[in-house]
Amino acid sequence: MSYQGRRTDSESLRNYQRDEWGTLDGETCVIELSALAARNLGIPRKRDWYRKERIEEIRQRMDFHKPKFAVMYSKKQREHWSAIAEHTFSSDNIWKRGPTNIALTRHPVRSPNDYWIGLGKRLRQMSQSHN
């Protein structure tokens, strides 16, 4: 929301997550790296099955839809996110691939709101400087 210059107070964030985040008619796409569904990481799954195909599919969708930015959660998956971005992330964990600014971040539950607000502002600045 800070990317768009919108309010970032707790109530606005909750409303956005409830009403807009990842919805069919919303502005965000939420997609898993693993093609096999599981409620959490504690559930055993062959998460690497179809991994190459999944990476290629996500990359193709990004190339087709040309989002302004993509946020890839979990630095533990750095190798796979780097394959999608076709780039090894540097220490600032941001890369521009075509029209898309890509940020590699820690998992959301490990990051306070001010981290996300700062990242959104940074991505907005990058986007505006490349227009």
Q: What is the 3-state secondary structure (H, E, C) of 48-61?
A: CCCHHHHHHHHHHH
Rg of the chain in Å (alpha carbons): 15
Helices and strands per DSSP (H, E), number in the chain? 4, 3
Q: What is the pLDDT of residue 14?
A: 86
Positions in the chain whose pLDDT score sits under 70? 35-41, 130-131
User: What Å distances lie between residue 119 and 2, 46, 81, 122, 127, CA to CA?
Assistant: 8, 32, 18, 5, 12
Q: What is the pLDDT of residue 56?
A: 94
Q: Which residue has the tokens 């996300």?
A: 116
Under a CB-based contact definition with an 8 Å cutoff, are residues 22 and 29 in contact?
Answer: yes
Pairing assessment for the beta strands 94-97 and 69-73 based on DSSP bridges: unpaired
Please return the burial class of 72, using the count of CB atoms within 10 Å of its CB with bins 0-12, 13-18 and 19+. Answer: buried
Q: What is the pLDDT of residue 114?
A: 86
Q: What is the pLDDT of residue 38?
A: 66
Q: What is the pLDDT of residue 131?
A: 56
Under a CB-based contact definition with an 8 Å cutoff, are residues 105 and 73 in contact?
Answer: yes
Which token pair is 4? 């768009």
